[in-house]
């Protein structure tokens, strides 16, 4: 009979694979556009509920966006944090409540990304409303996309990104600094939130690209997930930042040049 330690990696792979399959099926189905920028209120049944219950539209949209975002995070970001989870599993192997502590750690990590997702979706919704109400901005909406891409490129060279990346690349040191095991449940949850915050610190600009190209693009999610996993988990990951930053800035410049030439 396999020990729980031997089952951890296969179960983790199964969880991540299930998230990717769910996203792929959603993207291939009739409701694919609701994974992107379309209004959740247009969905059958959901739209009727939004119209029938005062204030339900905003809260329900936030809930559905959060669920979709957490599914994306499970697919994209959990693999990048596997070294943390595996190191924590080994450090708590002698505890009877190890499963609970692991669940709290993952829950804290997901909570940090869920809060970021709510903030990002809120900013995206406000930005779309401003653009829709401004004829000049609507016509030059490509400028916003170019600015987001340039910001993501410039952030690759920032010291803040590299400090956060150092924290993500050293899971054993991070756990030793933030987990004592005295209040094990609380510390496990806070450890997940703390690591999630540093993970956001090194990846937020790349994640914003999802809003520039469409949050439901499976191809983009695969590409960005692979880049972020390589940055954190491989020795050569540090070498990605410079060419990636240059490439993104060049892409932004090409978008601007293309529109200027064709204007």
CB 216 within 8 A of CB 27: yes
Query: Considering the entire predicted model, what is its pTM?
Result: 0.79
208, 210, 211, 213 alpha-carbon torsion, rounded to 10°: 130
Least confident stretch, 23-27, 157-161, 225-229, 250-254: 23-27
What pLDDT was estimated at residue 48? 52
Nearest to 199 by CA among 210, 207, 189: 207
Q: Does residue 27 surpass a pLDDT of 50?
A: yes
CB count within 10 Å of CB 89 equals 19
Q: For 197-243, write each residue's pLDDT tens digit.
A: 999 999 899 888 877 665 556 777 778 888 888 888 888 888 888 99
Least confident stretch, 36-40, 141-145, 162-166, 188-192: 36-40
What pLDDT was estimated at residue 52? 53
How far the first Cα of the chain sits from its last, in Å, is 68
Contacts of 55 (CB under 8 A, 6+ apart): none
Q: How confident is the model at residue 1 (pLDDT cuts 50, 70, 90)?
A: very low
Pick the more confident residue, 108 or 97: 108
69, 71, 76, 78 alpha-carbon torsion, rounded to 10°: 110
Let me know how many helices (H) and strands (E) the chain has, helices first.
12, 0
Q: For 66-80, write each residue's pLDDT tens digit.
A: 677 777 887 888 888
What pLDDT was estimated at residue 199? 92
What pLDDT was estimated at residue 31? 59
Pick the more confident residue, 61 or 98: 98
What pLDDT was estimated at residue 2? 41
User: What distance in Å separates the CA atoms of residue 39 and residue 23, rounded to the nearest whole number?
Assistant: 18
Q: Does residue 6 surpass a pLDDT of 60?
A: no
Average pLDDT, stretch 176-196? 90
Average pLDDT, the chain: 78
Nearest to 72 by CA among 195, 225, 211: 225
Contacts of 218 (CB under 8 A, 6+ apart): 23, 24, 27
Average pLDDT, stretch 104-133? 82
What pLDDT was estimated at residue 122? 77
What pLDDT was estimated at residue 217? 66
CB 119 within 8 A of CB 214: no
Quote the tokens at residue 250: 């060049």
Average pLDDT, stretch 148-170? 92
DSSP 188-242: HHHHHHHHHHHHHHHHHHHHHHHHHH-TT-HHHHHHHHHHHHHHHHSGGGGGGHH
Contacts of 206 (CB under 8 A, 6+ apart): 152, 224, 227, 228
């Amino acid at each position: 009979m396999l020990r729980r330690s031997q089952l951890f990696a296969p179960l983790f792979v199964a969880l991540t694979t299930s998230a990717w399959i769910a996203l792929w099926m959603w993207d291939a189905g009739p409701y694919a556009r609701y994974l992107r920028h379309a209004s959740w209120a247009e969905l059958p049944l959901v739209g009727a509920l939004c119209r029938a219950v005062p204030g339900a539209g905003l809260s329900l949209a936030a809930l559905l966006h959060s669920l979709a975002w957490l599914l994306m995070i499970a697919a994209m970001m959990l693999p990048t944090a596997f070294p943390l989870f595996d190191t924590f599993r080994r450090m708590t192997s002698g505890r009877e409540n190890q499963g609970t502590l692991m669940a709290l750690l993952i829950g804290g990590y997901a909570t940090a990304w869920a809060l970021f997702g709510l903030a990002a979706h809120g900013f995206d919704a406000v930005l779309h409303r401003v653009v829709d109400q401004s004829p000049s901005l609507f016509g030059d909406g490509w400028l916003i996309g170019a600015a987001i891409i340039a910001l993501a490129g410039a952030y690759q060279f920032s010291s803040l990104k590299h400090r956060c990346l150092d924290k993500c690349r050293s899971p054993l040191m991070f756990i030793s600094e933030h987990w004592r095991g005295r209040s094990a449940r609380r510390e496990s949850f806070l450890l997940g939130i703390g690591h999630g915050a540093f993970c956001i610190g090194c990846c937020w600009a790349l994640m914003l690209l999802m809003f520039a190209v469409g949050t439901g693009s499976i191809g983009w999610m695969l590409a960005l997930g692979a880049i972020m996993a390589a940055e954190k988990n491989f020795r050569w990951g540090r070498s990605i930042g410079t060419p990636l930053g240059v490439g993104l800035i060049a892409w932004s410049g090409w978008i601007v040049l293309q529109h200027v030439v064709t204007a």
